[in-house]
Every structure is written in structure tokens, then in C-alpha cells.
């Protein structure tokens, strides 16, 4: 399925802002480090996470995109740092990302690790420098730390590794274990995008609740769809090595539920996301389209 036009538009603006942001640091960052950061950060992709933030912001009445763009760049920095680490030999050990050699293959492992570390720190710098109310800025920083750290993405990655070890040891992995992994590893950041967009737009209680519920549903939807794609799509379509989940005994929805039930679950999560958009009225139409795209991408 082709990405919705509005997502492509958000991606274009994010891409330009990322490039400009990196250029302002040319004189203060070592060349090889900036090259590695730029290589991974500007490697393309649909920019779903910043797109979610910007569209949630717009759906709640926000109309100053450039003022909130640093938050969109920040989430892309966090996401990219996580991809660089995921691809390392000590983690998922992958040579391909977005159709290109992974960062540690293009440069070396040490440079890749440091580039990822720098992108993580840069994300918090971008939010800290935002031209918004100081209380909101602190709230966004705190919630981003929770979503990306030991109680969010990083914690989910550890749970994922533990489940992989359990599977290799012959232990049965339960569905609740898989859900816990992905609510943290993938869902936490996607949920942050939706809530942050709403907060930046000064959303009312009904709008904030709608974006929060939508973000939780989309977080699980994204991972179920990703698990399905890993066994149904080619490496060319994925932009990374296909079939890695089964090869590495990953705890996935497909490995627990099978392909058909996983597809049914993805449909259920999509429907929950669509229902969450109802309080947003006509302003939620594009968020609905994004939920459909997340489910059907790669098809």
C-alpha cells in the first residue's frame, strides 16, 4: 500500500528539518561522528513516528508546525539510535537497514555505537530547546525518557532478549509475554508521539484521551503488522533482512498465534485505533488513514 499523501508531506518536511539541524552542528561535531549520524538519520523511511506526532498535533488544532518540529526530530533521533543498536552483532546482527548497509557495516562498530549514543542525547537537547512553556517542556522530556528508557523501549528490548533466550532453552513463551515486550519495545514511543502531539496543541481532555487511546492501539498494531511482514515480505520490500525473527527464535505474535490469528489481531487493533479517532471528528480522518496504512504497508 502506498503511503498516504499527508504522511509523505510530513516526511518531506521532517527530512528537510533533519538535514538543516545536522548542518548547524558541522563545526562542533567530529566529521566521522556527524557522517555516521547523518548516514543513519537521513537514510529515508516513511517517518511514521514524527508523522504521528505532527498529525496528532494537527488533529487537535495545532497550526504552528515549525514550532513543534523539534519534537518530531527528537523522536526520529531516538528511533534511529535504537535501529543502529538493534543492528549490531551483539543484538540482532543485521547487515541491511532501509536497503543500505547498516551503520556498523558502513563505518565500524565503535563509530556506530557512538553515533547512536549521540543521537539519543541529541533528542533530549532538541526537546529541551523547544520554544514552548517550561512546564510542558519538562513534561515532554520526562515522558520521552520514560518511553525510551528502562521503563519503555530499552526495557522492552531486554524482555525481548530474555524471551529469545527462553525459546532457545525450550521454554514456552506466552502471549502476555509477547504483548508486554511490544508494549514497551515498540508501543511506548508510538504512544508518546500521539500524546506529545496532542499536548503541544493544547488539546482538551477529550482530544488528549482520543490521541492516547489511538497511540496505544497503533503501537500494538505496528508490531503485529511488522511480525506478519517478517514472514510474508521479501528483504527488498522490508529494506532489511526478512525471516530474521524465526531464525533468531524471536517472541512474535506470529510465532505464538500463527499467521491467520495474527492477521485477525492486527485487524482488531486497527479497528480500536479507528474507534479512538471518533471524538476528533473530521480532524481524525488522516489518523484513520494512517492506521490503515500501518496495517497494509508492504502489501
Query: Across all residues in the chain, what is the average pLDDT?
Result: 92
273, 265 Cβ separation under 8 angstroms: no
pLDDT number for residue 171: 81
φ, ψ dihedrals at 100, nearest 5°: -125, 165
pLDDT number for residue 166: 82
pLDDT number for residue 99: 84
C-alpha span between 77 and 83 (Å, rounded): 10
- Is residue 237 scored above 60 in pLDDT? no
- Is residue 297 scored above 90 in pLDDT? no
pLDDT number for residue 143: 98
Does 132 or 245 have the greater pLDDT score?
132
List pLDDT tens digits, range 33-67.
Answer: 999 999 999 998 899 999 999 999 999 999 999 99
pLDDT number for residue 71: 98
| Average pLDDT score over residue span 86-108 | 92
| Average pLDDT score over residue span 209-223 | 95
pLDDT number for residue 241: 54
List pLDDT tens digits, range 174-192.
Answer: 888 889 999 999 999 999 9
C-alpha span between 207 and 85 (Å, rounded): 35
- Is residue 82 scored above 60 in pLDDT? yes
| Residue 228 CB-density burial (10 A; 0-12 exposed, 13-18 middle, 19+ buried) | buried
Domains, in order of start, for the chain: 5-296 (1.10.600.10)
Provide CB contacts within 8 A for 75, sequence distance 6+: 49, 50, 53, 123, 144, 189, 192, 193, 196
Place 9 in a pLDDT band, splitting at 50, 70 and 90.
very high
List pLDDT tens digits, range 119-156.
Answer: 999 999 999 999 999 999 999 999 999 999 999 999 99
| Average pLDDT score over residue span 5-14 | 93
- Is residue 234 scored above 70 in pLDDT? no
Query: What percentage of the chain reaches a pLDDT higher than 70?
Result: 93
Place 168 in a pLDDT band, splitting at 50, 70 and 90.
confident
Q: On the CB side of 69, how many CA atoms lie within 13 Å of its CA?
A: 16
Place 169 in a pLDDT band, splitting at 50, 70 and 90.
confident
Amino acid at each position: 500500500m502506498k503511503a498516504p499523501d499527508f504522511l509523505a508531506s510530513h516526511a518531506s518536511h521532517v527530512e528537510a528539518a533533519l538535514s538543516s539541524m545536522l548542518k548547524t552542528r558541522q563545526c562542533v561535531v567530529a566529521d566521522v561522528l556527524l557522517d555516521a549520524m547523518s548516514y543513519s538519520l537521513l537514510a529515508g523511511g516513511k517517518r511514521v513516528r514524527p508523522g504521528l506526532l505532527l498529525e496528532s498535533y494537527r488533529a487537535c488544532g495545532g497550526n504552528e508546525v515549525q514550532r513543534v518540529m523539534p519534537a518530531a526530530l527528537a523522536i526520529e533521533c531516538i528511533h534511529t539510535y535504537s535501529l543502529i543498536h538493534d543492528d549490531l552483532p551483539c543484538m540482532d546482527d543485521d547487515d541491511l537497514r532501509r536497503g543500505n548497509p547498516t551503520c556498523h557495516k558502513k563505518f565500524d562498530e565503535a563509530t556506530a555505537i557512538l553515533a547512536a549514543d549521540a543521537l539519543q542525547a541529541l533528542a533530549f537537547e532538541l526537546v529541551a530547546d523547544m520554544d514552548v512553556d517550561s512546564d510542558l517542556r519538562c513534561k515532554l522530556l520526562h515522558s520521552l525518557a520514560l518511553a525510551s528508557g528502562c521503563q519503555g523501549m530499552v526495557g522492552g528490548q531486554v524482555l525481548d532478549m530474555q524471551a529469545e533466550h527462553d525459546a532457545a532453552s525450550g521454554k514456552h513463551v506466552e502471549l502476555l509475554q509477547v504483548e508486554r515486550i511490544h508494549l514497551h519495545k515498540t508501543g511506548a514511543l508510538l504512544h508518546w508521539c500521539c500524546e506529545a502531539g496532542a499536548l503541544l496543541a493544547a488539546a482538551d481532555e477529550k482530544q488528549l484521551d482520543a490521541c492516547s487511546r489511538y497511540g496505544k492501539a497503533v503501537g500494538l498494531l505496528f508490531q503485529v503488522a511488522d511480525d506478519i511482514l517478517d514472514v510474508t515480505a521479501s528483504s527488498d520490500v522490508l529494506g532489511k533482512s526478512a525471516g530474521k525473527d524465526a531464525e533468531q527464535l524471536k517472541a512474535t505474535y506470529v510465532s505464538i498465534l500463527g499467521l491467520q490469528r495474527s492477521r485477525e489481531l492486527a485487524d482488531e487493533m486497527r479497528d480500536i485505533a479507528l474507534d479512538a479517532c471518533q471524538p476528533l471528528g473530521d480532524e481524525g480522518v488522516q489518523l484513520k488513514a494512517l492506521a490503515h496504512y500501518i496495517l497494509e504497508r508492504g502489501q
